Amino acid sequence: MIRAHGYAAHEPGGALVPFAFTRRDPGPGDVVLRITHCGICHSDERAVSGWMPSAFPLVPGHEIIGEVTAVGADVRRFRGGDRAGVGCLVDSCRACPACDAGDEHACHQRATPTYGGRDRITGEPTQGGYADVLVVDERYALRVPSALDPAGAAPLLCAGITTYSPLRHWGVGPGHVVGVAGLGGLGHLGVKFAKAFGAEVVVLTTSAGKAAAAIELGADRVVVSTSREQMRAAAGSLDFLLDTVSAPHDVNAYLSTLRRDGTLCLLGIPAEPFGITALRLIGGRRSLTGSAIGGIRETQEMLGFCAEHGISTDVELIRPDRIGEAFDRMLHSDVRYRFVLDLGSPN
């Protein structure tokens, strides 16, 4: 077993405190990473607050960048000293049609989540990247282009692929008007990708104070979604809307911003179910859909796209003793745009 040190919550809603645990002994297909950076995703806070009640003690973190310190005898894609990344999954069945198609995140036997799951080899709980070391099969590790800054690359492994994948799937490009609701970790990357794909981009935000920053990120227009007037003026204007809002909100109001045949894609995961007014869909033949992360192949493609187009995450780098403050500020939409733990510097 490999000894690991991380930050765990011991019960739902508990503070993240230093925690010693073990990782599996690396097998022939495994790489060992010394973790240097881990992004703080809104889903981490949700997990700590009790999303998966059986998963405690819980070390969150699925936006992981590290340096390869050891490789098994069969590893082909990594060597010691390489930079590698790990996102939301660390294993899957490898045999079902989804895995065969490179959609491991949609594995019919359920992919093994980076934390809150069970290691397929040892049966032990999986633990995430708010830690110093990780063991993972190379098939689920990403090569990180050297052009990418490691802190800015970490959030690409969840927030990045989660916004890149639906924009690709629904063929967003020149001539499309794309809305991004919620300018947080996911949202700000959604703006950068939609812009890079050639779309006209409209940010819908509850934070009027983020308007200037949204334009700087590349948005063409900003709609303050708490303003009825601005929402009314935006009615029927969007071809596609990425909804990254983390909290309960009136999705009907956002559906109204779509043109005929427009699509609203849910990415955010509000805690409560919500109601849809049928006429919001029927009237404009609109579609309501959703999307979750992406497979390993597409994540690798996305990292290459970012390196080629100079796309990175805007991060606020913090030391692990400030995780609690970071969660709190994230819950108040007060981060531009992603906290990233600096795990590489000596404490």
Spatial contact of 207 and 187, defined as CB atoms under 8 Å apart: no
Q: Which of 208, 214, 212, 205 is nearest to 244 (CA)?
A: 205
Binding status of residue 205 toward Zn ion by CB under 5 A: no
Cα three-residue angle 138-159-157, rounded to 5 degrees: 15
Contact 338, 314 (CB under 8 A): yes
15/33 Cα distance (integer angstroms): 26
163 binds Zn ion (CB under 5 A): no
What is the C-alpha to C-alpha distance for residues 137 and 99, in angstroms, rounded to an integer? 15
Distance CA 206, CA 224 (A): 6
- Give, for 278, the enclosing helix (H) or strand (E): helix 278-282
- The answer to the question of residue 234 lying near Zn ion (CB under 5 A) is no
The distance of closest approach from Cβ of residue 235 to ligand NAP in the complex, given in angstroms and rounded to an integer, is 18
Binding mask 240-279 for ligand NAP (x = CB under 6 A): ----xxxx-x-----------------xxx----------
Among 167, 186, 251, 258, binds ligand NAP (CB under 6 A): 186
Which of 24, 46, 120, 322 touches ligand NAP by CB under 6 A? 46
Q: Please, what is the minimum distance in Å from the beta carbon of residue 186 to ligand NAP?
A: 3
Binding mask 79-98 for Zn ion (x = CB under 5 A): -------------xx--x--
For helices 159-169 and 185-196, angle between their N-to-C axes, nearest 10 degrees: 40
Comparing CB distances to ligand NAP, the nearer of 49 and 69 is: 49
330 binds ligand NAP (CB under 6 A): yes
2: closest CA among 154, 139, 140, 122?
A: 122
| Alpha carbon distance 160, 61 (integer Å) | 15
Can you tell me which of 61, 152, 182, 262 binds ligand NAP, judged by CB under 6 A? 182
Residue 70 vs 93, nearer CB to Zn ion? 93
Site string for Zn ion, 97-126 (x = CB under 5 A): --x-------x-------------------
Q: Which of residues 49-78 bind ligand NAP (CB under 6 A)?
A: none
Binding site for ligand NAP (CB under 6 A): 41-43, 46, 158-159, 162, 182-187, 205-207, 210, 244-247, 249, 267-269, 292-293, 330, 333
